[in-house]
Structure 1
Amino acid sequence: MGNEGSMLPGLDIDSKPVENTEEWTLHSATSSSSASPNLSVFCGRQTNHVNNNSLEHAIKNFRIYRHPNILKYISSWSHQGQLCMATESVSPLTTVLENQTVFEICLGLHDILKAVIFLHEKAFCSHNNVCCASIYVTFDGSWKLGGLEFLSRFSELTPDYLQKARARRYEKAVPPEEDAGKAIDPKAIDSFAFGILVEDVFCRIPEDIQIPGIKEFREIAKKQLQSLEPSLRPKLSQLLVQPIFNHRFVVIHDFLSELPLKSDDEKSSFFRGLADQLREFPEILLASQLSALLLSRLVLLDKTAQEHLLPLVLQPQNGTHVEGNLPLFSMNTFQQHIVPRLLHIFSVRDAQVRLLLLEHFEHYCCAFTKDQLRVKVLPELLVGIKDTSDTIVASTLRALAILVPILGSTTVIGGKRARLFTDGRPNISGILPKSSTITTLKDEERPLIKEKTTINNMAQEVALPLSLIELPERPSPDGGEDLALTAQLDEETDNWSDWDVNESQASTGIDESNEMTVHGSLESEVNLAESISAPLSLSQTSAVITASRNRLPDLTSLDIKNSIVAPRKQSVPEEIDFFQDMEPVISKPKLLQLDNLESQADTTNTNANLRCFDVDITANGLTDGEAWGDNEDWGDISDTDVLIS
């Protein structure tokens, strides 16, 4: 045949046969090079030369006579004297007939009838062996006519040819005129065999089945098609008008099968009302018989179908749809029948088909398993982002975004990733808002002041902590204090009996020694924001405060009542905390022993009380644009240093 060595590359044939006959064995196979990954392979037996001739004759006819309802031929080859033929993936009707429904049988008979009519009226041939053994069923439930090894042209058909092939033909389907030696009508041979086929496939179907026209059709098959007189047998083309073949479901199937022959107006009218008609039938019947036709290229590219039909096909039911817009298939049916076809369509490199799939991707992607999405769908989507069409790239990126929550960003985009964005929200625990309650100093952080019990007792030691205290920046500029906070502090101040005592002592100290300063050793301990080289005297402090009043609109925040003071331990009950929620960030206090305690105790007390409120408010302390309330900057904000003695 000239096919030596033409075996399909990458073909893997299952060693276990699906069907055994005297002429060949049927095997399932897979191919990595064929457009259809699943195939069926007929392998001729090597027992004798007759068997090889039978398969060789079938291969020749399959290559010549092509029809949608005839088994699709793909390739053939000879290997070590054994002939093999690869076809579309099918199963013998004899193995699946028990699982066929009445609708599927009616559709199958309609398919076989059209195939035989094609042979009679277009190819001018007779099949000569129409029976269950010559019929195969595809994955979608369509019946395909096979067994073309006995096919003969009308002009070549002779009684001798039929007699030689009779031993391998279905004996029940052999018409009686062959035995009588009468003239043979090629069409009558197939008509008689088709009547036997109808009887065989309906043998297990109850006669009172509620299908319009089925009872009448069975009568025609028995009494007319199997008539002993060949001239009384009707032509097979006349059977197409029978009610059984004009059932609404059969008409829909037939229209979709012959869609290329229909006009645009016919297709537009058909698709507008198709969804409502399909809802009248069981969804499993629709999925098994019509899924391939509903997802054919011609349907996918039809504008009317895209608008009125495909949105209901490319979406499984999820319980959230209204009744009038309910998809045709449940999730289980969708996964079983529609998903395999969608996976195959994703490999089609047609721009319009791909755009349609991407348009509805968010609706049906939930029906895929993660493995299907990762292995089958994702590689095809990644091809789309490399296309020159901006529309395809944009639609593909949207589909990839849908896959990120399902497969994870690492699987979808791959490569090494790093955390490039941070959470810019303020850390509430590290910021003291205006309305926050001020916290109190811990007991161990409070400065301890040992004061003399009497003025004349000069021998008692006085511990005055003069360490540098760094407080966080004020929550708002001077003059803009929170009224609620000020009111709260004023209310606490009114109940503090020691305020008057402290104020009187401070006034006395100022009158008696306004020229005294702290001992020189304090200079090494004090370091203000602008590196003050010498301690401030009372006069210097007063000058700084007076100058700053001209620049600041309100200095109530610097009042003694709003500042932190170490009260006398004997004046404040231990159970009352007057500095609640006013905790500054301070370092460990350092104690400084004064040399001249006896002569300078009063002066030190006075200056220490005053220096508690010394604030650097010079021009270097606060420049334009640094006010917290002006720029709302979340960066580092430096605080004004405050010295507490």
Structure 2
Amino acid sequence: MDFLKSAMASAIAQGPPFPYTFGDKVDVDASIWTLYNGTRRADGSNCSIFSFDVTANKARLPLAKNALKKLRTMRHPGVIRVLDTVETDTYIYIATERVVPLRWHVKRKSLSPETIKWGLYSIARTVKFINDEGSSIHGSLCVASIYTSEGGEWKLGGFEILSNVKDDEAVIYRYGSLVPDSARYTPPELARSGWDAIKKAPHSAVDAYNFGTTIFEVFNGDFMGADQTGQTKGIPPTMHAGYKRLVNANPKARITVGTFLEQGRRSGGFFDSSLIKLTEGIDNLGVKSESEREEFLEDLDQLSDDFPEDFFKMKVLPELLKSVEFGGGGPKAFGVVMKISTKLSSEDFEARVQPVVVRLFGNPDRAIRVCLLDNLPVMIDRLPQKVVNDKIFPNMVSGFTDVAPVVREQTLKSVLVIISKLSDRTINGELLRYLAKTANDEQPGIRTNTTICLGKIAKNLGTSSRAKVLIAAFTRSLRDPFMHARNAALMALAATCEYFSEEECAARILPVICPSLIDKEKLVRDQANKAMEIYLQRIRKAAADMPDTVQPPPQTTEGAGPRMSTPQPSEASSWAGWAISSFTNKLSAASGEMQTTNTPTPSSARAVSPSPGLDPSRRVTSTTSSASALHRQAVKSPSPAPPLSRNSTGSAAEAYFQDPDPAEDEGDAWGDMGDMDDDGNAFFDAPSEAAARPSKKVVEAAASPTSFDDGSEPDFAGWLAAQAQKKSGPGGGKPLPKGLTKSSTANGKGSTTTTAKKPLVTRSASKPVVAKKIDTKPKETDDDDGWGDGW
């Protein structure tokens, strides 16, 4: 083989220039030609080279020269296309389009019945052209003289004895018997009388008989001789009648190939197929009217998978792409392109379809854009990431802001298809900005789909901003008036639970899910319960791994400040009881004792006598006093105080209520919690009541006209006391609830003045406290027991 190639190379070097390179040798049937695969040096395109060695086969040189001449002059789509030829005294080279012998496909039985019909139809048209328009006879028609192109089309060759019937010295009469294997295919009349018998019968009779034997071969394999003539094994029933008339032993009774072609093209005939219609209409698709083009594309779209892939790739696909891009083929043509492209290899798709797809995304036609987006799942795996991210996506985003809702919605849905092909920068930058717009779209369906889209692409979002983006988007959708948008938000939250921290689940997500539990729509309520359960399980699992406390262990060193004790198991049932007990423990560690005695008064008011060491000049904290202030007051050594003057009542009250260490630890106040003791009183009621009567002098000062008053609200507690007295009269009545009874003192006139339990407020020392008269007469009311309604 290498020797043969080197010999050819040296022969070419000595002869005329031949700008083609020989490749592998192709096995063919018995032929005067040697077939090689070749390439064109200028552009590397594929070709085939038919080579004839003159020195090795001089007897058949006339056949080679006749084939060279006829191939140069015969121009027809069904004839092998010649690219270049070289003829010398030692060799003849014919460079043609890349072809493969049809015998290869017949031996492998790789041709479907529809493809065979389509091929026979093409050969029949070519033979008809030779017989009728060319007034010629092919003379050696058989499977060995037929080739298939790269596009799968059947091409006719074997022009060694092709002759014009008007030429009396035609090659066919003299050299017809020199064609290899001619004895197998020679018609009966020629086998009996020689090749001159052609002149006595219709000139088309030879080709008609040989076309019949070719039909037998392509359906059954090799035609071995006249014994098989007329057998219909393997041939479609619709062809039986025409086939038998083609191989009739009487040449004058045979029908022509043209007649056979017309019979097959009739409605319901064997050549009446959508594949054949396609081949006839594809060449002039660009010049068809709109209705003709629609009908053609409809037939094309209905084609089954039983069609020649090579033909669609090389012939149909380029024409359809041109029609989509320039000829008005529209979405229908592009749909057929996608159907064909599924059969293409990745290399063919990249070379033939990808450039057109990229250009089409820049087309402003909405119908084309929607068609591209609909077919994006079919081709996304074939498109490189760089092409999608740098070329397709920048053009695609214009659909997010298009005025047509269908374009916006299809663009949004396509995000799920291309997300794997986008860079992190594109996803977390430009894409999220456009999704923020569609999340506020006027169309509720687009808003809903945006939520679904975000939930499905959550794994592709950047970890630094993912939780923030998703929580903001989903919580907004939970307030959407569209029911399905709210439902989608809940489903998305349930699906993306893993992307949030436990703190975010508890503090930011569960609170916004709770209102959906009582949504007006049952669909939303059910989904809210499912989402709630998912997040609760997540939080419970996280809480189970947390320590019981993060507080440091209690200090046991004497002299250290008192600390809140750890609740005992028995105290766990009541948080209020735990708070009171811990506060009691804290006070028990203080020095000194606090004793409470009940001093009877005319109104049975409760009073607390001061401890022996307690200085009356110090203020006793009110209900709003802090625990730390009480502790400080309990443990601090009493200091001497100047005696109170009986005549300086206002200044004495000021001195009494003045805080010696004002507002030092107000930030530690727990009194604001409003805890209640066992009697229903405020948590710090007892200390404030103890401040009511520290001494006789103080009692007199409180009962005097200059007693302390905050000057704010009316004496509501006094009104309550009057109500209780009224009800306890002759008609009987209900006593006030425990804790609402107020202490009272008798004034000089024998009347009763009720002192309300008001928080004591420290006044400025420069401003005397002026008491004002308070009318304790109860207001008129229709409901004697209706005070609770006021709360």
TM-score normalised over the length of structure 2: 0.46
1:288-299 paired onto structure 2 within 5 Å: 294-298=316-320
Q: Specify which of 121, 139, 146 is matched with residue 132 of structure 2.
A: 121
* Equivalent residue for 1:19, pick from 10, 16, 28: 28
What whole-Å deviation, never above 9, does each CA across 1:298-326 have from its counterpart, x for those lacking one?
Answer: 576167864446526624xxxxxxxxxxx
Aligned residue in 1 for 2:194:
179
1:71-86 matches, cutoff 5 A? 71-76=80-85, 82-86=91-95
1:195 and 2:198 matched:
no
Q: Cα RMSD over matched residues?
A: 5.6
Gaps of 5+ in 2: 1-11, 222-229, 428-460, 469-499, 512-538, 564-572, 591-626, 642-657, 674-791
Residue matched to 1:41: 49
Q: 2:43 & 2:413 partners in 1: Cα distance?
A: 28
Q: Give the one of 654, 658, 662 matched to 1:542.
A: 662
Distance change >3 Å, CA 131–CA 272, structure 1 → 2: closer
Structural mapping, 1:317-466, within 5 Å: 335-336=342-343, 342-346=349-353, 373-374=383-384, 409=423, 422-423=464-465, 425=467, 442=550, 445-446=552-553, 448=555, 450-451=557-558, 462=559
In structure 1, what is the equivalent of residue 335 of structure 2? 311
Partner of 2:581: 495
- CA change 1:96–1:242 in 2 (3 A) is same
Deviation track 1:374-406 (CA, whole Å, cap 9, x = no partner) reads 5xx97799788999xx99xx99x9999888666
Query: For each residue in 1:127-158, what CA deviation from the matched residue of structure 2 results, as whole angstroms up to 9, or x when unmatched?
Result: 23212211112355432111123333444352
**In the alignment, what sits opposite 1:612?**
none
Moved more, 108-117 or 49-58: 49-58
Indicate how the Cα distance of structure 1 residues 420 and 101 shifts in structure 2: closer, same or farther if over 3 A, else same: closer
1:88 aligns with 97
Relative distance call for 1:187 and 1:220 in structure 2 (3 A) is closer
Residue 191 of structure 1 aligns to which amino acid in structure 2?
A
Partner of 2:259: 238
Aligned equivalent of 2:250: 227
Asked whether the 8 Å contact 1:126–1:187 carries over to 2, the reply is yes
Post-superposition offset of 1:167: 0.5
Q: CA deviation at 1:91?
A: 2.1
C-alpha distance 156-207 of structure 1, shift in aligned 2 (>3 A): closer
Amino acid in structure 1 at the alignment position of 2:142: C
The 3-state SS of whatever aligns with 1:149 is coil
Contact 1:89 1:139 in 2 (8 A): yes
Residues 53-85 of structure 1 show CA distances to partners (whole Å, capped at 9, x for unaligned) of 655553443343232222233344579965433
- Work out which of the residue numbers 133, 136, 142 in structure 2 matches 1:131: 142
Q: Report how far residue 86 of structure 1 moved.
A: 3.4
Larger helix fraction of residues: 2
Tell me whether 1:112 sits opposite 2:123 in the alignment: yes
**Number of aligned residues:** 460
- 3-state secondary structure, aligned to 1:28: strand
Equivalent positions of 1:539-578 (< 5 A) are 542=662, 558-559=669-670
Distance across 2 between alignment mates of 1:64 and 1:244: 29
Aligned residue type for 1:218: Y
CA contact (8 A) 2:139 2:176 kept: no
Q: SS at 1:137's partner residue?
A: strand
- Equivalence for 1:150: 161
- 2 CA distance for matches of 1:206 and 1:180? 25
Q: Which one has a bigger Cα radius of gyration?
A: 2
Name the aligned partner's letter for residue 190 of structure 1.
D
Paired position in structure 2 for 1:577: none
Rounded Cα–Cα distance in structure 2 between residues aligned with 1:101 and 1:429: 63
AA at the equivalent of 2:662: S
Take 1:380 and 1:128, find their aligned partners in 2: how far apart are those partners?
A: 56
- The TM-score with structure 1 as length reference comes to 0.55
1:253 aligns with 2:270: no
Change (3 A) 1:160 1:146: closer
Counterpart Cα distance in 2 of 1:386 and 1:559: 61
SS at match of 1:258: helix
Note the residue ranges of structure 1 that are not aligned, 5 or more in a row.
316-328, 414-418, 452-461, 467-486, 516-537, 547-554, 563-645
Residues 33 and 51 in structure 2, CA contact (< 8 A), matched pair in contact too: yes
CA deviation string 1:413-435 (max 9, x = no partner): 9xxxxx99833747957899699
**Where in structure 2 are the equivalents of 1:553-632 lying within 5 Å?**
558-559=669-670
* Residues 1:181 and 1:46: Cα distance change in structure 2 (over 3 Å): closer
Corresponding residue SS for 1:40: strand
Of 17, 39, 57, the match for 1:5: 17
8 Å Cα contact 2:102-2:146 kept in structure 1: yes
- Look up the SS of the partner of 2:49 in the other structure: strand
Q: Distance in 1 between matches of 2:216 and 2:663?
A: 122
Deviation of the 1:558 alpha carbon: 2.8
| Aligned-pair CA distance for 1:198 | 3.2
**Matched ranges for 1:497-516 at <5 A:** 497-501=584-588, 505-510=631-636, 512=638
